[in-house]
A and B are shown apart, each in its own frame.
Chain A
Amino acid sequence: MSETAEANETPPVEDERIKEMAGFRKAMIRPELGAICGTILVFVFFFLTARDSGMFGPAGILNWSVVSAQFAIIAVGACLLMIAGEFDLSVGSMIGFAGIVIALLSVSLGWPVWASIIAAFVICTGLGAVNGWLVIKTGLPSFIVTLATLFILRGLTIFAAIATTRKTIIGGVRDAAEGDWLAPIFAGKIFKGFFQWMGDHGWIETFSRGTREGMPVVEGVPMLIVWAIILVVFAHILLTKTRFGNWIFASGGDAQAARYAGVPVNKTKILMFMFTAFCATLFATLQVMEFGSAGADRGLLKEFEAIISVVIGGALLTGGYGSVVGAALGALVFGVVQQGLFFAGVESSLFRVFLGIILLLAVILNTYIRRMITGER
């Protein structure tokens, strides 16, 4: 009986021209694949060449993870914006500008540090909105509009710093931040007790001499890394698990088609410009709190570092495709290569050669992967 029942069931109609995809292959084919390969490759390379240099000791890990986290913070903003189909070249200038705003308000004008930080976030996300509004209203490529903002903001930053303090570097933020309630979440380290405990047990190295004798070489996890992780998780969930994430993809994929389907494209794009500016300001705040000073020339070329990380991470320059996890891995590759060459004792000028080669390989691999996924020809 059971046999006849089975025989009667018609098999589902298969299109003879669609090949079944093997499960493994399907799992592998994803936007981050290129970045995952790159990460593995880079780690293997440095593990073979720089293992003895302390690169993979606690202090070494801290070193490159801080640099990678810096890249990741600006890459996350650039990633979502690029998927929404736009660029922001003013990220670097925004970093310098936000830092000077915080320092000027808190040191020169004597505002409380928390108010200066909040003011910097409000002003800079506002400028991000202006960027977005200009791009939408004029219909010009964001490349040109934000290139203009790059120069305007950088010039204004240097002018403001010199006109008020006759210097391009404004110090004294650390003293001003003493006892402030907001500043600590942008500076310092967490899990100090845990690291001390690991040091006490001899699991990580401790200082054997001097005033810090007995303290672990790595005191804790810097807030910078914590922020980077928070941003990556937030942006990843926003992009893949929410309605707004679908709008980001749609706005970048084909703005007109998205509009016809009722997606508020302009709002989405402007919000993404604001988010990019937010990330730049966060970067600036973390830097100012760490150094205790702000410099008008900070953040130079950061926009390109952000874009490179995003592209290594598999995003499409023309928008509509990409992944936050990929961008974060791109930032990791970038950071590990930059610091790893130093550990490996390679002439530092060769860093750019390396970066260029990695960028090229990543883009070629990513293009191939994307064609397989999307059926582009």
Chain B
Amino acid sequence: MTEPIIQMKNIEKHFGLVIALSGVSLDVNPGECHCLLGDNGAGKSTFIKTMSGVHKPSKGEVYFKGKLMNFARPRDAIAAGIATVYQDLAMIPLMSVSRNFFMGNEPIKKIAGLPFFDHDHANEVTMAEMKKMGINLRGPDQAVGTLSGGERQTVAIARAVHFGAEVLILDEPTSALGVRQTANVLATVDRVRNQGVAVVFITHNVRHALAVGDRFTVLNRGKTLGTAVRGEVTPEELQDLMAGGQELAVLEGSLGGTV
């Protein structure tokens, strides 16, 4: 059994009088895709924001590679090797792919002692990485706005991995995508996982989760409803856990089990 790369223990988060998380625990192993499922308002976003350094937990501990961590800012988490890809905020559409790829990590080349952006190196790496991910670019200066939503997610994932992310948090990467694009993103997740990166995959779509997940943790109203291992759980069980049981059973009856 490998040592979990990140462990979240009894995380609680209070916003004033609102208890967003009341004791959530989760651990992720290297090379594993751990799916975090939950309905809207279940606390998924708050939870991953404590993992990525945006929020400080009110109670509970975060262990990264066995060490207790205390992230004050997202930059601290990024520096440690925890990268987050947000659904809408992954890329800047007006900027070129290569400028986006190196945003915040610009390569430097010295000319006459002055630091300049090394565009040649950036362009070369971007083209190579995009080719690996199966994205055809007209050129590294192509604007991200011309890419599809799935391609943008893929670029963001490739970027995070290229800059040494060991834990990759994906915030609903597939929820706004079409069928084919979703398949591409899921294939990218699989590829990244096989490289040994630990992936935390947030979704409310059970089928997407089952397609790539190794373990599944369901959140409901700020609590963990347990973690299941691949093969030991059916889509119906996950769906029920997410929705909290009874209400959906009634709904499902009227919808003929299509949800």
- A interface residue numbers (CB < 8 A to B): 13-15, 18, 21, 241-243, 245-246, 249-250, 253-254, 256-263, 316, 320-321, 373-376
Contact = CB atoms under 8 A, between A and B. Distances in A.
Given A18-B136, A241-B116, A246-B99, A262 B105 contact: yes
Contacts of A262: 74-75, 78, 104-105
Given A259-B74, A262-B74, A250 B95 contact: yes
B52 to A, nearest CB: 9
A257 B145 CA distance: 14
Q: DSSP majority for the B interface?
A: loop
8 contacts: A242-B116, A243-B115, A246-B103, A249-B92, A257-B92, A258-B103, A261-B105, A262-B105
Contact of B92 (A15, A241, A253, A316): A253
B105 A253 contact: no
Interface range for B: 20 to 34
B93 A21 contact: no
Contacts of B105: 261-262
B143 A258 contact: no
B145 A376 contact: yes
Contacts of B146: 374-375
B138 A321 contact: no
B243 interface: no
B136 A260 contact: no
B94 A246 contact: no
Contact of B103 (A241, A250, A373, A376): A250
A248 B102 CA distance: 14
A15 B92 CA distance: 23
Most central of A243, A250, A321 by chain B CB within 10 Å:
A243
B145 A374 contact: yes
B108 interface: yes
Given A245-B117, A262-B105, A250 B74 contact: no
Contacts of B103: 246, 250, 258, 261, 263
B84 interface: yes
Contacts of B78: 262
A321 B106 contact: no
Given A21-B138, A246-B103, A262-B104, A374 B143 contact: yes
A258 B94 contact: no
Contacts of A250: 92, 95, 99, 103-104
A298 to B, nearest CB: 35
B136 A258 contact: no
Contacts of A254: 89, 92-93
Given A260-B86, A262-B74, 10 more contacts: A242-B116, A246-B102, A246-B103, A246-B106, A249-B92, A254-B92, A263-B104, A373-B143, A374-B94, A374-B143
Interface in B72-97: 74-75, 78, 84, 86, 89-95
A31 to B, nearest CB: 10
